Amino acid sequence: MTTPSEADPKIKPTLEPAIELTVYGKTDVGLVREHNEDCFLISDVSQNQRTSEPKEPLAIKIGNKGALFLVCDGMGGAAAGEVASRMAVDSIASALAASDSLPRDQFARRLRKSIEEANDRIFAQSRDNQSERGMGTTCTAVALVDDVLVVGQIGDSRCYVMRGERLAQVTKDQSLAWQLIEAGAMTAEEAKAFEHANIILQALGVQERVDVALSHVPLRRGDVILVSSDGLHGPVSDEEILQVLRDEPDVKKACDRLVARALEREGPDNITVVVARFDGAGLSEATAADIVQFTAYDPGPDPGDPMRTGRTETLEKVTVEVTIPKEVIGLTGAVKAAEKDAAPAKRVNGPAVGAEARSLVTFIFLTLVAAAAGAIFLKYERNRALEQEGRAPPAAPSHPAAPPASTP
């Protein structure tokens, strides 16, 4: 007798044995901002159920179409950031809900495409509406249809995995601060006090095209997933996050405690957290050989997509480490030294302001570094793709690199 999945290869049977999870999310305006421009969503895609205001933890059994968690951190001032983050959440969730049941690679490609489509919609609305001009949002989308977590990222909202006694960040911030850390220009501790830490290199809606960073994590029984905006992981250290997740098995109480910890640090930004605990016989037990880390995921090109057909795109290209010249690193160090001797900078609900000359010079310099990094990155992307197709790279980029965005 033919089963439905045998008759139609698009239909994927519900996983047996089961993968189950308990998930909760919370957002708070913080103590400084007037508006909450963050937005999150929890979706049981298989059951076509979604919520951004859960009253209690949700129990989800992974079905044919999987599950989705989204955290978006809007920018643009007034209500524009709220519009961008809400548009991103609604657009991505609706695109996945409208899709057929898909195996993992196709599911990952659909997730990537849904994020790109959200960018198109936000960019068009920003262009066509004066009051929303310049709005944008970060986006970290975490989804699964089997025992492997798929993460799509734009900007600096993060995804963490706690396994046993260890917490690992499985995303890479697409930010100027992160680039400077990886270039050796500053330490992670110094980055926390970095005056221009709000400069990010990608955001949905502020540029015509985005490159979605895809990564993946094979799940194990007992894993805890945290997705957060920088209102949490900015003021609260990874060690403190680990302590809360380790000590509090209830996902709702864990969210409450994480938000409270950020508020104790003066709540300088909107705070959003989503916490999920995984269980079920469909997941293997963790072993000493399991390593949780950022791992690139290449699900292959989208069939019929002229931007990807004929070339292989890997996440390593999307998150390529931009080499910053030693002269620039040295100049950054000089700027930091000068800042130590200058008057403390002040933040007024957005970019830092302080001693006018120092702030202006520093900001212009760092913005140029970010723009150069973005330009190098995009040119590198195009040239690598053309080389793989056996064609020589063009003398100049086919379209200009977008300027860096700044989170509020």
Q: Which of the four pLDDT bands, split at 50, 70 and 90, describes residue 402?
A: very low
Q: How far, in Å, CA of 108 to CA of 203, rounded?
A: 20
**For residue range 259-304, what is the model confidence (pLDDT) as tens digits?**
999 999 999 999 999 999 999 999 999 998 899 999 999 999 988 6
Question: Tokens standing for 238?
Answer: 């990874």
Specify if 160 maps to a domain.
yes
Single residue among 251, 283, 299 that ends a domain in this structure: 299
Q: Residue 113 CB: number of other CB atoms within 10 A?
A: 19
Count of domains in the chain? 2
Residue 399 half-sphere exposure toward CB, CA atoms < 13 A: 7
Instruction: Answer yes or no: are the C-beta atoms of 93 and 143 closer than 8 Å.
Output: no
Q: Are 212 and 358 in a shared domain?
A: no
Q: Are 59 and 127 in a shared domain?
A: yes
State the pLDDT at residue 198. Answer: 75
Specify if 306 maps to a domain.
no
Q: Are 170 and 62 in a shared domain?
A: yes
Specify if 316 maps to a domain.
no
CATH of the domain at 117: 3.60.40.10
User: Which whole-number Å values give the CA distances from 111 to 23, 177, 306, in the listed order?
Assistant: 20, 27, 18
Q: Are 393 and 287 in a shared domain?
A: no
Q: How far, in Å, CA of 46 to CA of 176, rounded?
A: 38
**For residue range 381-393, what is the model confidence (pLDDT) as tens digits?**
555 554 554 544 4
Highest mean pLDDT among 10-14, 195-199, 337-341, 369-373: 195-199
- Of all residues in the chain, what percent carry a pLDDT higher than 70? 70
Specify if 57 maps to a domain.
yes
Q: Are 109 and 215 in a shared domain?
A: yes
Q: Are 84 and 170 in a shared domain?
A: yes
Q: How far, in Å, CA of 126 to CA of 120, rounded?
A: 10
Find the domain containing 236 and state its range: 12-182+200-299
State the pLDDT at residue 178. Answer: 87
Q: Are 145 and 262 in a shared domain?
A: yes
The residue with greater pLDDT, 342 or 297, is 297
Q: Are 279 and 366 in a shared domain?
A: no
- Of all residues in the chain, what percent carry a pLDDT higher than 90? 60
Of the listed ranges 92-96, 189-193, 352-356, the least confidently predicted one is 352-356
User: Which whole-number Å values give the CA distances from 37 to 76, 136, 282, 350, 357, in the listed order?
Assistant: 9, 10, 37, 13, 31
Q: Are 156 and 54 in a shared domain?
A: yes
Specify if 312 maps to a domain.
no
Q: Are 384 and 287 in a shared domain?
A: no
Q: Are 232 and 380 in a shared domain?
A: no
Q: Are 205 and 80 in a shared domain?
A: yes
DSSP-derived letter for residue 130 is G
Specify if 191 maps to a domain.
no
The residue with greater pLDDT, 180 or 147, is 147
